[in-house]
Amino acid sequence: MGSDESASKLEIDSVSVRFGGLRALDQVSIDAAPGRIIGVIGPNGAGKTTLFNVVCGFVRPDAGTLRWRGRSLAGVPPHQLARLGIARTLQGVRLFPRLSAVENVMVGGGHLHRPWFVSTLLGLPRSDRAERALRAAALEALDQAGVAGVAERMAGGLPYAIQKRVGLARALVARPSLLLLDEPAGGLGADEVAGVAELIRRLRGSITVMLVEHRMDLVMSVCDDVAVLDAGALIARGTPGQVQADPRVLSAYLGDRTDEPARERKSADSPPESAPTGSPRKGRRQRTAVEGKSAALEVEDLVATYGPVRAVDRVSLNVDSGSITAVLGANGAGKTSLLRTVSGLLAPRGGRVSYGGKDITGLPAEEVVRRGLGHVPEGAGAIAELTVDENLRLGSLWRRDRRDRAVALEEVYDLFPRLRERRKQFASSLSGGERQMLSIGRALMGRPQMLLLDEPSLGLAPLVTEQIMGLISGLSERSGLTVLLVEQNADSALSIADHGVVLNVGRVVAAADAVTLAGDEQLRHAYLGLPSAQDSE
Amino acid sequence: MSVGAKPRQPPAQPTAGTGAAPPPWWRRPRLPQQTLARSILLALVFGVVLYIVSELFGPFNDLRLATGAYYFAALAGLTIVTGLNGQISLGHGALMMVGAYTTALLIGREGWALAPALVASALTTGAVGALLGGVAARLRGPYLAGATLAFAVGLPALAYQYPNTFGGANGLEINPPTPPSALGANFPLERWQAWIACFGALIVYVLLANLLHGRSGRAFRAVRDDEVAAQIAGLNVGRTQVAAFVVSAACAGLGGGLLAMVDSLAAPGAFTLTLSLALITGVVVGGLGSLAGAVWGAIVLVMLPVWTGDIAGAFSLPTQIQSNLPLILYGLILIGVIVAVPEGIQGALRAGASAAERRLGGRGHKLASENLTNAAQKEG
Amino acid sequence: MSRFLDLTLNGVSTGMIYASVALALVLIWRATRIVNFAQGGMLMVTTFVALAVINKTGSYWLGFFVALASGLIFGALVERVLIRRVEGGPPLNAVIATLALLILLQGAAGAIWSATPRSFPPPFSIRGYVINGHRVLFSPNDLFTVIAVLGVALGLFGLFKRTDVGLRMRASAFAPGIARLEGVRVGRMLTFGWALAAMAGSLAGVLVAPAVFVGPNNFDPLLVFGFTAAVIGGLDSPLGAIVGGLILGLCLSYVSGYLGSALVTLGALVILIAVLMARPSGLFTSTRTRSV
């Protein structure tokens, strides 16, 4: 707070961290120059969040030093950082849900205006003054973040994008000199990301900002400086343009250029070894035409609610057998709710769902899976307290044929060799990408004819996402698996899908084959969170 | 990007934190903005109300009033540590015991006056709470419940083991406080005790409301909601949790001291595990996390045994059933409440009030008492 | 020296009884993330039932197995009727629900059977074995106690780790939503978990009954000690329940023998605090979770 800018330097020097046998960070050295915005990117499991945790004192480094303003941060517990001028946001926001927005921010500024305990107890004017000052500072921070209007509302009930801004206000209220942002764009649509980017840009010069992010659109448009981690080591450093062009970075992380329009990328796929090929779409459509279209899944006027909110509002769609259908839309459009209603986790209020010609409306999830419909849930699908092996076996327990269970297990391990390596390990020790593979593998253990996939790319690096998409595409190719795929990342979803359905506020606003959908500019911009043609490079 | 319904306007405040002049007195909101003035005003109002109520009561009800008052003190403390700070304590009965015995020892053995003895009891129990809190800060959920359970069951053993100091099973007796001669020669002892107890409860209410309205209240709630985020925001989680325990223990200690005064006795038989369980039940049925909930809880704890005893008597049931019927009904009602209305009486009232407010289509009038308790209950 | 041996052997047998209660609590915790404070009341009721059967038919073993069977049924019943309704909510609600059930059961038992303690016959002799001419404080009945509890514990352990049912139950406990997606009928697994747990509790009830007599409040200390033992061992660990029970049984036996029986409850408190300060999640908790 008002200290010499040139002294507000963060120096991370040869920091190493081991978790058991795993090298989370390997002699990483990064300097954050004052007033600059630095992005830290890298594949899932590269150590980005561990790096933040080390700076914040949640994790003790096994080697190396950390200096802030010339003084060592070693042994400084997390709660003392605020006083040193360091603030941080957390993955997924993590507001205090049962406090109001302004109260959340006031907690962040708590060390600023401190009355004595006794004067608070007795209600003396001194404590009133401190409260007022704190509250004013909090309201100002909310204003700075653009969400002054929700000050008195309970934080838990706010929309996700608003929560993120409140979280930012909570970090900014104490006027930090160093701001650590952990995935500030996570879970946001393109419009919202632009807003956050603007907020961050405004901080340039007055605060040093270090951010960890997967979303390239944010990183490239906001950062002065980008550092790339892979498997715990720093592999590149430079301006966004330099990093994008660096071949090491490309191979480790970006894979194919992700900013090419979906249409062109389809045919250029060179699949990684472990995943089956995603073949050109033309071939698949021909095959379907030959076998004759039969709708595997029919959804008619489906309605589902969360309390008073209509999450799914009279949705109708058909999924042809053997095809891949993508369900797209912005955050909160109802995609996950749709899937959960179809698979029986959420009870419908109206409408019909039938699968393979049989009505499954309202059947509970444990019965639906027995009909041949597998569901890979969003987010934490792998059960952390079970081993990889146990997770997989769980997927086949409902099947009577015991011998086939063992066969299925081997098939899944063939599909995911990395899982076979870790079969005795607890799922909690796997990286995000591996857990997603485990989730998919477990669903496959039930030998479903149709797979419901909920945001398989969430939290994963582009390369891993591509692998998984390729895998899904290949499975559908080879075994005729019908797929209903919910995705925020429209690009990757449309690259393998036959058809697409776009949801907005629980309703279907567009349904067409994937090529048409990918090409429709208006649709892309408005609902898919993609830049329209004139925006992209 | 402003969203949603209009926020409640914060009261007219200087924005820069400097001392700009507040608006003239006829334009101020209903209650004074200065916390101290507000507290004193409310204390006076409650005091008058209690005076009137107690004048209408006979001695038996005076006893119940006093009982409710000391239950409230303990419940208010418990609701802070369990409701606001999220740490389950099954040991508050034992903390009351510490307060009761401290009071009894200071008055009976050392000849202290009542008021200083009560203050000392609160402070002593607060210190014990610091120890308990230190242990509790390292524990989570069921482990904490277990530790406090063991504390509740283990502490009374001290009374039996050292009968010379603590009077053994018979406990320590103290002389009841005599009403001052200014009130008249025939002033009932029970009413005087009720007044003292209610005064103590009032102080607890006011002090806690002050505390909860500000940083401490927010800190407790923040730590309950998300410990990691709280640390990032600069809160020392361990210290906050210990602080919550200290405050709640002090309240329980005061409650125990008042209990000793009302019963004229501090004996281990009054502080069994059942008491701790009753306290937890009281805060939950009344509504966790709010001082108003503690009031309801105190009423429940006092009146429910009375009502169930009346029912048993009305049906002329055989002794075996009659003596156990209160327990049976107690258990059934508790189950009913926890299944059907888990947010307790206060929570249900609040939900009903906001539903009515929505229906009437406006912000509705804010009741005077809401200002004081609103902050304490804001966690919802 | 012989006193030490006496106390040790006594500690082992009482420890196994605590272990059985601890096991019951651990099972329910793993299945539903709830601490069943009503366990003391439930095993009290099943012991009363066993006593009624024994008195009517004259057969101990019939009463014994009726106790276990009624434990199974009682556990399932409590889960379906009461616990279902508080399962998803805040943990304190479940605490209150089980406490309320405890109060209810104690009141009902007092109303039906009165508070007068009744004697319960032991299946084997309670006179200690004679070793080297000394009669030690360990009888055939004590031996039976140890074997019975170990047997049940091993059986349950095998069930959980090695069977499909066990895997389903663990999945239901850790991630019910995902388990449902994999076809596990989670509701049934939870009910089953409670049934097994209550059975373990019933076992403890009949084993301790000869010593403490049967009455509505006679099993209260057992609840407290069982809980302490479970916490010492770590609520997630059935093995920890056994070890915790033994540790507690031994320690309390020594406390009672050398320091006086009134200090037993305080002793339990001290032991509990000592263990938890060193390992805040008990001695045998395994999985680590990342919170940041």
For residue B347 the two structure tokens come to 């929570």
> Is there a single domain that holds both residue A289 and residue A349?
yes
Q: Do C92 and B82 touch (CB under 8 A)?
A: yes
Q: Do C35 and B288 touch (CB under 8 A)?
A: no
> Is there a single domain that holds both residue A279 and residue A365?
yes
Q: Residue A19's domain is classified under what CATH number?
A: 3.40.50.300
In Å, what is the CA distance from C278 to each residue of A77, B138, B151, C226? 21, 10, 18, 20
CA distance B332 to chain C (A): 7
Q: Tell me, what amino acid is at A477? A: E
Residues in chain A within 8 Å Cβ distance of C163: none
- The reply to whether C131 falls in a domain is yes
- ipTM for the whole complex: 0.83
CA distance C56 to chain A (A): 45
Q: Kindly state the DSSP code that residue C123 receives in the 8-state scheme.
A: S
Mean of all residue pLDDT scores within chain B: 79
Residues in chain C within 8 Å Cβ distance of B140: 280-281
Between CA B125 and CA B121 the distance in angstroms is 6
Q: Is C77 on the interface with A (CB under 8 A)?
A: no
Q: Would you state the pLDDT for residue C90?
A: 75
Q: Tell me, what amino acid is at A141? A: A
For residue B121 the two structure tokens come to 């009891």
- The reply to whether C106 falls in a domain is yes
Tell me the pLDDT band of A459, cut-offs 50, 70 and 90: low
Q: Would you state the pLDDT for residue A189?
A: 65
Cβ neighbours of residue A509 closer than 8 Å, sequence gap 6 or more: A502, A503, A527
Q: Do C171 and A394 touch (CB under 8 A)?
A: yes
CA distance A94 to chain C (A): 10
> Is there a single domain that holds both residue A343 and residue A487?
yes
- The reply to whether A190 falls in a domain is no
Q: Is B269 on the interface with C (CB under 8 A)?
A: no
How many contacts, defined by CB atoms under 8 Å, are there between A and C? 73
Which burial class, exposed, middle or buried, applies to B310 when counting CB atoms under 10 A from its CB (0-12, 13-18, 19+)?
exposed
Q: Do B378 and A100 touch (CB under 8 A)?
A: yes
Between CA B232 and CA B226 the distance in angstroms is 10
Check pLDDT > 80 for residue B175: yes
Cβ neighbours of residue A211 closer than 8 Å, sequence gap 6 or more: A37, A38, A39, A40, A180, A181, A182, A184, A200, A218, A219, A222, A223
Q: Do A162 and B226 touch (CB under 8 A)?
A: no
Q: Tell me, what amino acid is at A442? A: R
Q: Would you state the pLDDT for residue A289?
A: 36
**A133 → chain B, closest CA residue:** B17
Of A364, A384, A442, the CB nearest to C182: A442
Interface test with C, best of A19, A383, A396, A428 (most C CBs within 10 A): A383
- The reply to whether C264 falls in a domain is no
Of A111, A123, A165, the CB nearest to B39: A123
- The reply to whether A68 falls in a domain is yes
Highest mean pLDDT among A421-435, A491-505, B250-264: B250-264
Radius of gyration over alpha carbons of chain A, in Å? 25
Q: Is B366 on the interface with A (CB under 8 A)?
A: no
Helix (H) or strand (E) holding B36: helix B35-56
The full length of chain C comes to 292
Q: Do A384 and C168 touch (CB under 8 A)?
A: no
- The reply to whether A356 falls in a domain is yes
Nearest to C219 by CA among C197, C243, C203, C237: C203
> Is there a single domain that holds both residue A360 and residue A504?
yes
Q: Would you state the pLDDT for residue A284?
A: 40
pTM over 0.80: no
CB A470 within 8 A of CB A277: yes
Check pLDDT > 70 for residue B338: yes
Cβ neighbours of residue B7 closer than 8 Å, sequence gap 6 or more: A149, A150, A151, A152, A153
Q: Do C182 and A384 touch (CB under 8 A)?
A: no
Q: Tell me, what amino acid is at A129? A: R
> Is there a single domain that holds both residue A326 and residue A242?
no
Residues in chain B within 8 Å Cβ distance of A119: none
What mean pLDDT is predicted for residues A27-54? Answer: 84
- The reply to whether A359 falls in a domain is yes
CB neighbours (10 Å) of residue B51? 12
Distance of CA C165 to the CA centre of its chain: 22
Check pLDDT > 80 for residue A3: no
3 state SS for A65-112 = EEEECCEECCCCCHHHHHHHCEEECECCECCCCCCEHHHHHHHHCCCC
Cβ neighbours of residue A304 closer than 8 Å, sequence gap 6 or more: A310, A311, A312, A337, A338, A340, A341, A346, A347, A348, A349
Of B33, B226, B378, the CB nearest to A94: B226
> Is there a single domain that holds both residue A326 and residue A463?
yes
> Worst-scoring range by mean pLDDT, A234-243, A250-259, B364-373?
B364-373
Orientation of helix B273-286 relative to helix B92-104, angle to 10°: 120
- The range of the structural domain enclosing residue A492 comes to 262-372+448-527
Of C93, C95, C277, the CB nearest to B135: C277
Subunits with 3+ C-beta pairs closer than 8 A to C: A, B
Between CA A198 and CA B1 the distance in angstroms is 13
Radius of gyration over alpha carbons of chain B, in Å? 22
Which residues in chain B (74-103) have CB-CB distances under 8 A to chain C?
Answer: 82, 88
Cβ neighbours of residue C275 closer than 8 Å, sequence gap 6 or more: C231, C232, C282, C283
Q: Is B203 on the interface with A (CB under 8 A)?
A: no
**Helix segments in B265-318, DSSP class H:** 273-286, 291-314
Residues in chain C within 8 Å Cβ distance of A443: 181-182
Measured in degrees and rounded to the nearest 5, phi and psi for residue A210 equal -125, 125
User: Which residue(s) pair with A214 in the sheet?
Assistant: none
Q: Tell me, what amino acid is at B12? A: A
> Is there a single domain that holds both residue A352 and residue A453?
yes
Between CA A483 and CA A497 the distance in angstroms is 9
CA distance A534 to chain C (A): 39
Q: Do C164 and A397 touch (CB under 8 A)?
A: yes
In 3-state terms chain A splits into helix, strand, coil percentages (rounded to 5) of 40, 25, 35
- The reply to whether C201 falls in a domain is yes
> Is there a single domain that holds both residue A463 and residue A505?
yes
Q: Would you state the pLDDT for residue B32?
A: 56
Q: Would you state the pLDDT for residue C217?
A: 80
Measured in degrees and rounded to the nearest 5, phi and psi for residue B357 equal -60, -45
- The reply to whether A387 falls in a domain is no
**C290 → chain A, closest CA residue:** A428
- The range of the structural domain enclosing residue C52 comes to 19-217
CB neighbours (10 Å) of residue A54? 24
Q: Would you state the pLDDT for residue A269?
A: 35
Q: Is C189 on the interface with A (CB under 8 A)?
A: no
> Is there a single domain that holds both residue A281 and residue A360?
yes
Q: Do C269 and B284 touch (CB under 8 A)?
A: no
Between CA C259 and CA C267 the distance in angstroms is 10
Residues in chain A within 8 Å Cβ distance of C288: 428
CB B87 within 8 A of CB B226: no
> Worst-scoring range by mean pLDDT, A158-162, A319-323, A519-523, C178-182?
A519-523
Q: Tell me, what amino acid is at B269? A: G
What mean pLDDT is predicted for residues A179-191? Answer: 79
CB A49 within 8 A of CB A182: yes
Percent of chain A with pLDDT over 70: 82
- The reply to whether C226 falls in a domain is no
Percent of chain A with pLDDT over 90: 17
> Worst-scoring range by mean pLDDT, A384-388, B180-184, C170-174?
B180-184
> Is there a single domain that holds both residue A249 and residue A267?
no
CB A360 within 8 A of CB A354: yes
The full length of chain B comes to 380
Q: Do C183 and A398 touch (CB under 8 A)?
A: yes
Nearest to B344 by CA among B88, B145, B83: B83
Q: Would you state the pLDDT for residue C76?
A: 95
Q: Would you state the pLDDT for residue B27?
A: 44
In 3-state terms chain B splits into helix, strand, coil percentages (rounded to 5) of 75, 0, 25
Between CA B293 and CA B290 the distance in angstroms is 5
Q: How many CA within 13 A on the CB side of residue A366? A: 17
Which burial class, exposed, middle or buried, applies to A479 when counting CB atoms under 10 A from its CB (0-12, 13-18, 19+)?
exposed
Could you tell me which residue, B255 or A151, shows the higher pLDDT? B255
Residues in chain B within 8 Å Cβ distance of C77: none
CB neighbours (10 Å) of residue A236? 21
End-to-end Cα spacing for chain C: 53
Between CA C275 and CA C235 the distance in angstroms is 13
- The reply to whether C140 falls in a domain is yes
> Is there a single domain that holds both residue A472 and residue A523?
yes
Tell me the pLDDT band of B4, cut-offs 50, 70 and 90: very low
**A172 → chain B, closest CA residue:** B233
Tens-place pLDDT, residues A187-224: 676 677 888 899 999 888 888 999 998 777 788 889 99
Q: Do C180 and A364 touch (CB under 8 A)?
A: yes
- The reply to whether C263 falls in a domain is no
Between CA A220 and CA A143 the distance in angstroms is 26
Of C91, C106, C260, the CB nearest to B141: C91
Tell me the pLDDT band of B298, cut-offs 50, 70 and 90: very high
Q: Would you state the pLDDT for residue B379?
A: 32
Sheet architecture: strand order including A63-68: A22-32, A10-19, A63-68, A71-72
Q: Do C287 and A345 touch (CB under 8 A)?
A: no
Check pLDDT > 90 for residue B368: no
Between CA A347 and CA A98 the distance in angstroms is 27
Which burial class, exposed, middle or buried, applies to A525 when counting CB atoms under 10 A from its CB (0-12, 13-18, 19+)?
middle
Tens-place pLDDT, residues B116-131: 999 999 999 999 999 9
Check pLDDT > 60 for residue A266: no
Count of domains in chain A?
A: 2
Count of domains in chain C?
A: 1
Q: Is B10 on the interface with A (CB under 8 A)?
A: yes
- The reply to whether A284 falls in a domain is yes
Tens-place pLDDT, residues A421-458: 888 888 888 887 888 889 999 999 988 999 999 988 87
Residues in chain C within 8 Å Cβ distance of A54: none
Between CA A449 and CA A356 the distance in angstroms is 10
Nearest to A106 by CA among A129, A135, A81, A80: A135
Tens-place pLDDT, residues B41-100: 887 888 888 778 777 766 678 888 899 999 999 999 999 998 888 888 888 999 999 999
Q: Which ranges of chain C have pLDDT less than 70?
A: 284-292
